[in-house]
Amino acid sequence: MTQYYLELSEEESNGISHKFYAITVEDCSVTIQYGRIGTDGSKSISFCATPQEAEKLALKKVNEKKRKGYAEAVKGVRKKRTITRRNIVSQPSTIKTTVPTLWKFSSGSGAFGIFIDQQTCWVGNQAGLVYKLTPEGEIINQYRFGEGVKCIVADTHWIYVGCDDGNVYDLSGKIPRLAYEINEHIDIFWLDIRNGFLGVSDSGGTLTTINYENECQWSAKSAGVSAWMVRCDEDGRIFYGDSKGVSCFDGWGNGTAVWKKSVGNVLFGWLGQEYVYAGMGNDNVTIMTKQGEEKQICRADNAVFSCAASPDEQYIFAGDSYSSLYCFRNTGERLWKLATGCGSAYSMQYLDEKLYIVTTDGFLACIDASEAAIQAAMNGQVMTSREMKAPVKQATLVASDILEAAPVNASGVVLQCIKEGSKLRIKVVSPGYQMWYVQFPRNLRQEGQFYLVDRIEEASTGGFYRVIGNIYAQN
């Protein structure tokens, strides 16, 4: 068995990044492990025809990394990045009636990450597991990451998973790809993204923005700490909340604060078409206009750890630390309060008269939030729900820097990595496109390499392209 271990420390626009790259050759197998120093990182395994070919592949990879600045090192010298997990002391609900649950899926560990659309349901937990489910709760796919999942966010076609190791992964292709690497000095609390523009809030009360090339645009330090709320909108505004209140920033500009509202300790944030919603430590959901005017307060009985609104913003939902869910009218009137039956809701989303929650007990639950179902529950009619559990044996699908060769006769868009100054950039080779840069994983960039991707799309803000689907090596 042969082992290689390399490290790289480099100055980035948002600080210094420390990474490792390890290769183990055993017989005909080549195991590559890489990531931020102090984490388990991501792992991939390749098999060659002979041990000699395996050693040749390993040396090729090692030399590629050395050309990028990596150097041989001794493992275990550096420390792991700071990680703060959200600690909720979840109490059982004092309400005897439970919500009408259609189905619930047990992920096996407390879950923050959730995204729901018409075709899929996503859940990510603090053990680093992400599950892609059908609308009926059946597993489509599963992924394992080196650290816990902070959140799952969508940006039109793209699904991103933000993890405790500071990495943000793109799950839009068959293999997870590394999309953003957040500086290790940022103790991440929450993430959001619009048009490839990433907003990061942290434990110290700083909001940081990162562009499609993983370059820091600006940072703003607030008066508060524990920033659990960051929400980006299509107009480039960022709504941010911490222990002191809610602020709005000019995201696409230089980070100027547009307004600030001192409403108290914000524990969660939701963004609707018209209004901004803050789940508060003082037992309410505060509703504000996007101009910073307080519109309404929806009063709960305990601290609100999650909230959401229906698309028309007529109904507001909230989850408290006592495993209860609430529904309010936008006038502030409380319509109902029911027990979850599966822990306190870390996060939630509403779609088509269904409320989806992820909980401290590790469940993704689909709740019938129609008026008829809720009324039946309040009248004592109990709904029998289906409960699914994650398989005991977990598949390991992690982000990889090994490119598969393009399938024979595959079609798509051809890209090339070129060097401009000290930076590696990706541009389009196929005819009919602008000479713009392409958002592309930095760990796949190698000067002169051609790539075949399923397709690209112009960012809605213009000025660059984004890859949709799979990425292959084009010879």
- Note the pLDDT of residue 78: 59
Number of Cβ within a 10 Å radius of residue 459 = 18
332-337: long-range pairs with CB below 8 Å, 24+: 332/296, 332/297, 332/298, 332/299, 334/298, 334/299, 335/374, 336/374, 336/378, 337/95, 337/300, 337/301
- The residues facing 13 across adjacent strands are none
DSSP E strand boundaries for 145-187: 149-155, 158-163, 167-170, 177-181
- Note the pLDDT of residue 462: 85
Secondary structure of residue 58 in the 3-state scheme: helix
**CB 144, CB 396: distance < 8 Å:** yes
User: Is the torsion defined by CA of 53, 59, 64, 65 positive or negative?
Assistant: positive
- Note the pLDDT of residue 396: 59
Measured distance CA(139)–CA(390) in Å, rounded: 8
- Note the pLDDT of residue 14: 47
**CB 160, CB 200: distance < 8 Å:** no
Distance of CA 296 to the CA centre of its chain: 30
Q: Which CATH topology does 101-389 take?
A: Methylamine Dehydrogenase; Chain H (2.130.10)
Measured distance CA(338)–CA(324) in Å, rounded: 6
Domain residue spans in the chain?
A: 1-80, 101-389, 403-475
Considering only CA atoms, which of 216, 44, 263, 237 is closest in space to residue 202?
A: 216
What CA–CA distances, in Å, run from 340 to 2, 88, 96, 99, 120? 52, 15, 10, 6, 22
Measured distance CA(208)–CA(13) in Å, rounded: 11
> What is the average pLDDT value for the chain, to the nearest integer?
91
Measured distance CA(471)–CA(454) in Å, rounded: 7
Q: Which residue has the tokens 């349901």?
A: 121
Give 167's Cβ-side CA count (13 Å radius): 30
- Note the pLDDT of residue 165: 84
pLDDT tens digits for range 77-91? 655 666 776 666 789
Measured distance CA(200)–CA(206) in Å, rounded: 8
Beta-sheet pairing, 2-12 with 71-72: antiparallel
Element (H, E) at 80: none
DSSP annotation of 195 reads T
Q: Which CATH topology does 1-80 take?
A: q64v53_bacfr protein fold (2.20.140)
- Note the pLDDT of residue 264: 95
Number of DSSP helices (H) and strands (E) in the chain, helices first = 2, 39
What CA–CA distances, in Å, run from 339 to 336, 371, 413? 10, 16, 51
- Note the pLDDT of residue 40: 75
Buried b / exposed e over 386-415, threshold 16 CB at 10 Å, is eebebeeeeeebbbbbebeebeeeeebbeb
If you write DSSP's letter for every residue of 271-327 in order, what string do you get? E-SSEEEEEETTSEEEEEETTS-EEEEEE-SS-EEEEEE-TTSSEEEEEETTSEEEE
Q: What pTM was computed for the model?
A: 0.84
Considering only CA atoms, which of 116, 108, 160, 109 is closest in space to residue 137?
A: 116
As averages over each run of 10 residues, the pLDDT of the chain (475 residues) reads 85 63 93 83 89 92 86 71 71 92 95 96 94 95 89 94 91 90 87 95 94 93 94 95 97 91 96 97 97 97 96 96 96 96 96 97 96 90 87 66 86 96 94 96 92 95 93 90
Torsion of CA 183, 184, 190, 193, to 10 degrees: 20
